[in-house]
Structure 1
């Protein structure tokens, strides 16, 4: 249960930082921000574990960059 709560808190922090660093306004509620942070961490983890056996956790900076990439991809999909 503590791992789940820790993932939610980390997702909120990573998602909030990604929204703050990304240029322009991003309209999201708390749940979307948490999901953005968790998704960014997973995306960064997938890229950081390429070429290795298994899945490796990504660092904080990589997670924020992964979340920013998800914002960028989302804006491309919605604009097109």
Structure 2
């Protein structure tokens, strides 16, 4: 599981769609996950195939999209590392 923490700015809380930008070879997750307007944390289950590449993957990141004050907003997270075993 991967824990995602959302930092909101302002008081116009809207749903936020989150997508993984890149996953390690052989690892899959949901196409898109949506945070509810009152939700700031979520754990997302990732699955590794038997032949998934083993080792450290340092480019795990998500893209979050929402609306704020009727404007489309897109934010990319910084990369984090995960290990596949």
Q: TM-score, normalised by structure 1?
A: 0.24
- The structure with the larger Rg is 2
Q: Which has the higher strand share?
A: 2
Q: Which has the higher helix share?
A: 1
Q: TM-score, normalised by structure 2?
A: 0.24
